[in-house]
Amino acid sequence: MKKVNDADKNAMLDALLAEGEQYTATAFMNTIPSSIDFFSFFGAIGAIIGSFFPDDGFSRRHNGYVGVTNNSINFAILNMYNVTKLQNTVKINFSDITNIKVNDKKTYANVNIWVGKKKYFIQLPKKLLGAKLENQAENASAVAAALSRLTASSVA
């Protein structure tokens, strides 16, 4: 079974770049639902049933990749059953962000992003067992640092 890796990360994120843009930081991430997922109460059967309902990638826990440019944040949300397939993409322009909180810890970084009343919550693990990601710890810290520069005074 194929695992998350740098080649897939770069290919999926590069496809989301606008012309002339480049990433200042990229990393593997987990999306964390901001509210309790109803289907999670039913275990594996709930996960299967829940997969038939629309999911933007942030209403249930997913793996994915995040890339930060000078103007936006791009998310490549991976399919929950096959990490080589892209399930969804989300792009958030810095001008649309109303609030952001970044907490960079030793083993992971948490990022909360508000666009109006919608909340996006991601976690950037610094170590992943079995993954083929070079420098994930440094990359996670680089994403956290790039996003922490977007303080309340610099967001809309």
**Domain ranges for the chain:** 6-37+51-154
pLDDT at 81: 85
CB 99 within 8 A of CB 155: yes
pLDDT at 2: 80
Q: Which residue in this structure is represented by tokens 């593997």?
A: 28
pLDDT at 131: 80
CB 23 within 8 A of CB 67: yes
What pairs with residue 5 in β-bridges? 132
What architecture is the 6-37+51-154 domain classified under in CATH? Roll (2.30)
Show the tokens assigned to 45: 């059967």
Q: Which residue in this structure is represented by tokens 């440094």?
A: 138
pLDDT at 129: 80
Of 30, 154, 48, whose CA–CA distance to 95 is shortest?
A: 154
Strand order in the sheet with 25-32: 86-93, 72-78, 62-68, 25-32, 118-125, 108-115, 99-104
pLDDT at 43: 57
pLDDT at 65: 96
pLDDT at 128: 84
pLDDT at 49: 52
Q: pTM higher than 0.75 for the full model?
A: yes
Show the tokens assigned to 155: 């967001």
pLDDT at 89: 93
CB 145 within 8 A of CB 137: no
Regions in the chain scoring below 50 on pLDDT: 38-39, 53-54, 152-153, 156
